[in-house]
Structure 1
């Protein structure tokens, strides 16, 4: 069950997003008008019980297009830099809350959650801290005072905090940060205890990168979290950054890793999602990027304890990636001109498929779906035309009672069964879930028309009569 405070924010969001989206179509021109034609990301995410967030660049909030997208598409915001130590406490004991306050005000105006990032981190420390010399006792006091002051400042206004960020090396050992070198691993527990004391209701996370699948680094993180829980340290969740590379995304492995942390009784979240590519971008890379975004979203949506997804930036033009990875970029859901990319559609489709197709009654966003609601306006046959020990050939026909443009059909294969090849569609597989989208020549289907495609499996056979969805809606069998 979501906490009461989050339900209140989401309820307010229902009212605000409709008004702001309508206003945006008038005020901000063609790009915003095009986006307003369909439900936003936040509208399709809400019925699934997950948040969809973005990192917000404080310096861009005066840009009308940027501000509009941040306000209307997302129901959670994270400060990209404005809440980091160097921004908040540039001089010891002297705090600058301007950027953090702007983000919180923006979120409250738009009915959004706030994800605080970050309290204790080896990077982006102010010079006085990074290069200062302190006794162990003094450094621990500096750290806990900073955590107490910042979390206390936003008590009741920030729903989640990245308390400790990037504490591990790639081999699973602790990073030799200033805090670890002087205080040992106890600095982590102390940071969490200070944050809990400052705001008992905020959810407290540890956050890291290259931990999205099971590997040496995530194993180290797992051991730490187990130890913190055994000590009674107040940790509520684990954040997985997911700064990924196009074509190198394993959705099934991400889901399994999220689940193993969730099985510890913790909340998990995708906190900094972007998927970069070697430049220049082209249609093939953008389509693969969309499949990769979909795989990550599906992984989160398949794990009950995964509370949401934050993309690390809105537009490719504002991304951190080109400045850090030479020759790479185009990592975000919007392009340089703030036009939605296939990755945006993939995120939206993932939420729709998970139950976010109908945003529901705006007066009661927490009302459950009607269990007696009929299946969508479609019927499907899923027939095995040939079967052998290690595979099968399948023919699928979907009849639709309404006209369809750019269709998407989904179904599940038995565990261990994989796609070998397919025809009359574009195929992708994430875990057991198979997604088939139209080719350029068969994307438009009239009312009463049919969608037909086929494929071959490996590793085993598909199952006759497998349920099929069209555009996220269940199709009747036959």
Structure 2
């Protein structure tokens, strides 16, 4: 598969300013997040919801090939599907499924059992009636969507952050922890072919809540409960640091004999945006994707809607937002988007600012580097290869690939006054023309790649690089 970044109609924000571009239809036919994920044996998806489906500009991107999977954010939850006891409504869920089928997208069912978004009648049930109502609900919903969803979030968010079970759940209050096994067995009976998941947030890295989930899954497996996967929501925030040892955490769950998936990914920040926050956000997106790709049983990644226009973050976290790879105007954020592409194994190219997004089908005018510079590989050291992957008047994007040594340091000296404005995959220090890059914690072991945006004027010679 040819791996060159394409970016749809996107805005690139760099030191030189803001500009937009679109790609030719031939490029668009072969370059999507989904195609790159599929080349890695995974899917790449976006959540959606029914109000969004009336936005034609939004649906053109959602169903345009970038995504191979979707999750309905609300339309399969209990308050929507059974607002009154034994009176079921599937109209909204069916609308999402119909859209997905028309655009060759798989659907994750979300969610059969959750302590939130329950109609009032559920919480008013006597404890003796809760199990029957729960099993009736799961059976009806899973049976209706049987054959239309490839996976179900059967139980959603069973734990508090300290690893204790949520006592506020009416199901836990009535049945104790047995409600989880009962829910999975009921779902399997209703839909034998769907993959059955347990799903939670703040379990992405090592910690008390992840340990509790791990022990639960291990116990369920030992009891023969039909659990097929664990969903990691990955609602991240750059101000709180990246989850500890995400890849190792995903791997230990996979080693229990279950699939793992990134189910609700977004990376929020305290507003307003700036280039530093964007670069950190891009690193987080890259970290998550790389962790999934590195774990054989990580089957896919779903961002929690693709655009800030419909993000849940601003209404939930005051003063925060800008959490997704597309902005509120449905324009790609090149730093975040390109980080995902690179982590999926794609190659990033950059646009010419002279191309307007209003044009019917123009081609990009990019100036990829015909050559690269690499350091010789001294014994016990490493090799670093520098290349320019795209160039436009006043700016360019560079990439450096490192092999050979864990904990590398890469240095070079610009000859033509170039200045780095953003860098992902490492930390950069630039003093005059001299540049030093050290790896991000997740990127210290080769083969490693970091990328950057920089300014140039007149001449953009490739420097000699050193790696130690």
Q: TM-score, normalised by structure 1?
A: 0.76
Residue 338 of structure 2 is matched in structure 1 by: 345
Greater mean alpha carbon deviation, residues 111-120 or residues 280-289: 280-289
Q: Distance in 1 between matches of 2:84 and 2:280?
A: 45
More helix by percentage: 1
Contact 1:86 1:126 in 2 (8 A): yes
Q: How many residues align?
A: 402
Q: Secondary structure at the match of 1:277?
A: strand
Specify every segment of 5 or more residues in structure 2 that has no aligned partner in the other structure, as ranges.
1-7, 10-18, 350-368, 410-425
1:407 aligns with 2:398: yes
CA distance in 2, matches of 1:443, 1:46: 39
- Aligned equivalent of 1:225, options 212, 217, 222: 217
User: Within the alignment, does 1:108 sit opposite 2:91 as a pair?
Assistant: no
Moved more, 143-152 or 420-429: 420-429
TM-score, with structure 2 as normaliser:
0.78
User: Any residues of structure 2 matched to 1:31-46 within 5 Å, and which?
Assistant: 33=22, 38=28, 39-46=31-38
Kindly report which structure 2 residues correspond to 1:369-384, keeping only aligned pairs within 5 A, or say none: 381-383=374-376
- 1:349: Cα distance to partner? 1.9
> Shift of the alpha carbon at 1:49?
1.0
Q: Distance in 2 between matches of 1:251 and 1:409?
A: 25
Give the C-alpha shift of residue 248 in structure 1: 4.3
Moved more, 215-224 or 286-295: 286-295
Q: Which residues of 2 match residues 118-197 of structure 1 at below 5 A?
A: 118-130=111-123, 132-136=124-128, 138-176=129-167, 177-197=169-189
Give the deviation of 1:451 after TM superposition: 5.4
Paired residue secondary structure (1:406): strand
Equivalent residue for 2:384? 396
- Looking at structure 1, the residues matched to 386 and 195 of structure 2 have their Cα atoms a distance apart, in angstroms, of 45
Aligned to 1:210: 202
Q: How does 1:420-459 map to 2 (within 5 A)?
A: 424=435, 428-429=439-440, 430-431=442-443, 432-433=445-446, 434-441=448-455, 450=462, 452-454=464-466
User: 1:379/1:104 Cα in 2 relative to 1: closer, same or farther (>3 Å)?
Assistant: same
> Which residue among 286, 289, 296 is the counterpart of 1:294?
286
Distance 2:457 2:109 in 1: 43
Q: Is the 8 A contact 1:427 1:437 kept in 2?
A: no
CA drift of 1:311 comes to 0.3
The answer (yes or no) to whether the contact 2:237–2:269 under 8 Å persists in 1 is: yes
Between the aligned partners of 2:313 and 2:280, the Cα distance in structure 1 is 18
Instruction: Tell me how far apart the structure 2 counterparts of residues 126 and 141 of structure 1 sit (CA, whole Å).
Output: 16
- Structure-1 separation of matches of 2:390 and 2:60: 33
Structure 1 position 205, deviation (Å): 0.3
Q: Any residues of structure 2 matched to 1:63-74 within 5 Å, and which?
A: 63-72=55-64, 73-74=66-67
Q: 1:377 to 1:323 in 2, by over 3 A?
A: same
Is the contact between residue 408 and residue 439 of structure 2 (CA under 8 Å) also seen in structure 1?
A: no
Contact residue 247 and residue 289 of structure 1 kept, 8 A: no
Distance 1:308 1:93 in 2: 34
Structure 1: 5+ residue stretches without partners: 1-20, 23-29, 358-375, 456-461, 463-478
- Is the CA contact 1:47–1:356 (under 8 Å) kept in the aligned structure 2? no
Q: Deviations over 1:277-317 (max 9, x none)?
A: 01111122112111111111111111111001000112112
Q: Is the 8 A contact 1:426 1:437 kept in 2?
A: no
1:163–1:195 CA contact under 8 A, matched in 2: yes
**Cα distance in 1 for residues equivalent to 2:379 and 2:323:** 41
2: CA distance between counterparts of 1:277 and 1:401?
Answer: 28
**Among 283, 307, 319, the residue aligned to 1:315:** 307
Of the candidates 241, 245, 269, which is equivalent to residue 237 of structure 2? 245
Superposed CA RMSD in Å reads: 3.3
More contact order relative to length (CA 8 Å, sep ≥ 6): 2
Structure-2 change in CA distance of 1:241 and 1:347 (3 Å): same
